Structure formats: C-alpha cells, structure tokens
Chain A
Amino acid sequence: MFVKKIGLLTAIVAALLPALAKAQEADTALRRIQQNRAVTIGFRESAQPFAYLNENRQASGYSIDVCKRIAQEIGGKLNIPDIAIRYVPVTPQTRIPLIANGTVDIECGTTVNSLARQEQVDFSYAVALAEGRPLVKKTSGIQDLPDLNGKIVALAAGTTAERYVRAALDRSKINVRVLQVRDNAEGLLAVASQRADAFVNDAVLLGGALRTAQNKDDFAVVGEPLSFEQVAFMVGKNNSGLLTIINGTIARLLASGDLQKLYDQWIAPYGVPIEGEVGTLFKIEAIAE
C-alpha cells in the first residue's frame, strides 16, 4: 500500500517536471526588460572587487560598473532612454533559480564559465580571468606547485577552481590532502591557524581576502597559476538578443579602452594587472564593428 503510494507520487512528479520545462520562447529577458522598462541585475554582496555592497549599501564593483554600461546600451537598443536598473542580491545557491524563473535578467558577479554550466545558462565574453594560485605563509617556504607535495591544501567549496587544481596536482603527481573551506576568509584562517599549508583560489579573490587580513605581511600568493578560468556574465538560455547586446557592449568598451580603465580601477589594485593572458584576452575580445 505504502509502496504503491510512493510509486504514484514519483510518477506524478516525474510527469509534471518536463511540463514545467516546456514552452520556452526566445528572448524572454529582452521582452521582460521592454515591459518593465528596467534591467534586473543579479549581484553578489561580498565578492570584492567584482560585486559587493559598499559602505552606503549600494551595489558596486567592477562587474556592476560594466553592467551599468550594458544596461544603458540595452536602453538605447530598445528605445528606453530612462531605463532603470534594479539590483537583486544572489548567492551561488540562488543564482540559477533566479535566472531560471526570470527574476534576474543578467547576473553580474564572479561567475566562471564552464562547458557543463553552459548546458544550463549562457555566458557573455569574459571580463576577467580567474587564475588559481596558492596563498601560503611566508615562513612555510612553499614557492611553487612541487613544494605542495605531502601538504594539506585548502580549496573553496563550490568553486570550479577545485576541479582544475585537483587535475593539475594529479598531472604533476603531487599528493596532497584537500580541506574544503566555505569561503576566502575561512581559507585564510585555515592557513593562518596551520590547519592547511596552502589555500588555492583565484588570485584576485585572494588579494581581496588579504587586504582585510590583520597580519597580511605573513602571507604571500606564490607560484605559477594552477588553473585558468573565464569570469563572465550569465543570462538564461535562449536569450541570444540580450547576449548580443552584452557582448557588443563588452567589445566596444574594450576597443575604446573604457573596460581597461575600469579594470585598472577595480581589479589591478588586487595585484593582478592587465598583462600576459589578461592583456591578450582583452585584445582578442575587442572585436571590430
């Protein structure tokens, strides 16, 4: 009897779920923006310097500034001169549901592009690179990847960097014990309290965590990058019209040098200037008219 009921319930749920997924139209986000005369931007509240709440509790940061330009561009394209921008805070757990149900039109944070994720959402051109590098205590003597052998490495849970780092370690036959930490502050704490020998994460975010640390001179970000990832903006699937405007704005901002200025203003102070791979990326993405 009981088993029968469970079976029935499962059948009902299974029958309903695909129905929810059906009936997808193209460019729902643009239509929504046209209707509301407003762009809704999803932002992270504490992902300095990309997106965070500043002292006045306003959304600010590199990604936010770029998205403001994108919103203006959308306003121009849709003939809404006084287009409004609404900000909705998102977390790694809520960003997908909020995009899926149409609460958020564009997510402007520190989300990293990956092929697996592209099955669920679409990404804009990259606006920054995330390079995974180890943060260590200066006294530890760790200089590069091989020095990590036999050590304990902290990785931030839920970051895609984790997979790349594990792959890099496997490739170089380096044996480490991995400790999962929740965020950058906790990763720094793990290294400071000797729970872990190194904390591997995006160098920009590490720079951000170090800025607020009390004894920041005890720590150093060392070695070659273990992973490369693209930081990009995220929109729902089937929104090619919106995506075209976003990518066009990024390309034009790069061609005019405005994006580089924003990058210098926000990201460069965190110890990652426009050089090497980032410089190349920006040249490539400045697509001509």
Chain B
Amino acid sequence: MNYQWNWDLLFSEPYAGWLLAGLGWTVALSITGWFIALLLGATVGVARTSSARWVVLLSGFYVSVFRNIPLLLQMFVWFFVVPELLPAKLGLWFKRDLPNPEFWTAVLALAFYTSGRLAELFRAGLQAVPRGQRMAADATGMNPAQALRYVVMPQALRIILPPLTSEFLSIVKNSSLALTIGVLELTAQSRQIENFTFHGFEAFGAATAFYVLVAFVLNLVMVGLQRTLALPVAV
C-alpha cells in the first residue's frame, strides 16, 4: 500500500489538541445527554406502568416516537425543523443566541432518543419486581408514591443496571452523530485531521482508541456500581 504512516502526527500540535477537545465534547455530550435521558426515561417508564389507561397510551406513544425514528433523522429535526416551528423570536434565539446551539441541540436529540429506550427498560424493570413487594408496601400503609420510591424503584434499578450500562455505552457511540449538525466531537475532529493532513488512518485509529478507553472506564464504573449496590439477598 502506498501510504505514508505518521503516528507522531497525533502527538503534535494542533492535532493532539483537536483530538483532546473532541474527546471532551464527546464526554460532555454523552454525560449531559445521559442524565437528561435518565430523568425523562424514568418518568416515562413509571408512566408506562401506571394504572390510568390514557397515561399508558400517551407514554407508549412517546416511546414509539423516540425509539422508532432513526437518531440521525431526529438530530436533523431538532436542528433544522424545530427552530422554524417555534415563534420567530424564540427560534432565532435557539439558532443564534443560545451558547453552543449545536451542542445543546445534539444533547436534546440524544437525550430524547435514549429516553425512549430507557423508558422501556424502566418499565420492564418495574414489572420484573414481584407483585408481592408492592402489596407488602401497601399493607404497611405506604401510598403508591412511597411504595414506588422506597420499595419498587430501588429493586427495579438494581435489575436494570446491567442493560443500563450498555445503554450508557450506546449514547457514547451515538454521540458521534452530532458531527452531522456541526458539533466538533471526537469523530468530527478525526475527520478534520484527515482533511488537513490526509493521515486518516492514524486519526481514526486514535479516535477508536479513545472510544474504547471511554467505554472501558464507563464499564468499570458501572460494574463497580453494581457491586456496591448488590443486595445481600438476590432479588
């Protein structure tokens, strides 16, 4: 192959700085998106197990919309369509005056997409807790909110912790789609380096290594969390 390898390039300025900045944006996108998704997903997940039929239907609709539409498409809708639908002034603020509009748009898209998936996870987790637990909570005089907060949810969370880990890893990988709306995250920075230097293999090699590293660290954290939270008796 007629290719001039130059790995030193990755350690030279400005390219090293670009990669690190890209890594920073990737982590920021993933973590911000993750916490919003967790909040939304838990809420909608609880709604999915509600006894009110219209709540179940409405939350089911939410899940279908955000889980079934490709993330790339959602990204474009948030970026190109939503600001135009808002009142003119608000739309303009969304596009121009909001600090880092591309970043926050990408966070929203990632969060809503992931929340659709998390909602189903929470629903499954909540339903996996034996019915007797809720009944026992009832019997001790807890109201439904207390039963959820103190009895059912803590057990459900422990059940869904392993799949939650893979969703967390997914959001890191999905964050690379933010490059399509102009966020200079890790993949975008690698592309940038490849365009300036034509050393694409090295740049994308470095990006791959960083993604693996982030996934590895996240995995360690989540496994640690599972160990810490494990109950003496299996649920």
Contact = CB atoms under 8 A, between A and B. Distances in A.
Interface of A: 17-18, 20-21, 24, 28, 92-93, 96-97, 99-102, 114, 116-117, 119-121, 152, 157-160, 163, 179-182, 189, 193-195, 236-238
A193 B195 contact: no
Given A117-B198, A120-B198, A152-B96, A179 B192 contact: no
Interface in B176-224: 179-180, 182-184, 188, 191-192, 194-201
Contacts of B198: 96, 116-117, 119-121
B194 A93 contact: yes
A193 B95 CA distance: 9
Interface string B91-110: 01001100001100000000
Given A21-B1, A182-B182, 16 more contacts: A92-B195, A93-B200, A96-B200, A97-B201, A102-B1, A117-B196, A117-B198, A119-B4, A119-B198, A120-B197, A120-B198, A157-B191, A163-B196, A180-B188, A193-B83, A195-B101
Contacts of B191: 93, 157-158
A182 B192 CA distance: 12
Given A179-B102, A189-B80, A194-B96, A116 B3 contact: no
B140 interface: no
Interface residues of B, number: 30
Nearest to A102: B2
Contacts of B196: 114, 116-117, 160, 163
A97 B191 CA distance: 14
Given A96-B200, A117-B198, A158 B1 contact: no
Interface of B: 1-6, 80, 83-84, 92, 95-96, 101-102, 179-180, 182-184, 188, 191-192, 194-201
A20 B202 CA distance: 14
Contacts of B2: 24, 28, 99-102, 236-238
A182 B230 CA distance: 47
Contact of A193 (B3, B84, B179, B197): B84
A195 B24 CA distance: 25
Contacts of A24: 2
Contacts, number: 86
Given A101-B1, A157-B182, A157-B188, A119 B6 contact: yes
Given A180-B182, A193-B84, A237 B4 contact: yes
A159 B5 contact: no
Find the residue from B83, B183, B197 having the highest chain A CB count within 10 A: B197
A96 B192 contact: no
Contacts of A97: 200-201
A20 B200 CA distance: 16
Nearest to A116: B197
Closest 8 CB pairs of A and B: A120-B198, A180-B182, A100-B3, A158-B195, A236-B2, A195-B95, A116-B197, A117-B198
B5 A18 contact: yes
A20 B1 contact: yes
B72 to A, nearest CB: 12
Contacts of B184: 180
A235 to B, nearest CB: 10
Given A21-B1, A21-B5, A193-B84, A96 B194 contact: yes
A114 to B, nearest CB: 7
A61 B157 CA distance: 60
B182 A181 contact: yes
Nearest to A118: B198
A121 B1 CA distance: 13
Find the residue from B4, B84, B183, B188 having the highest chain A CB count within 10 A: B4
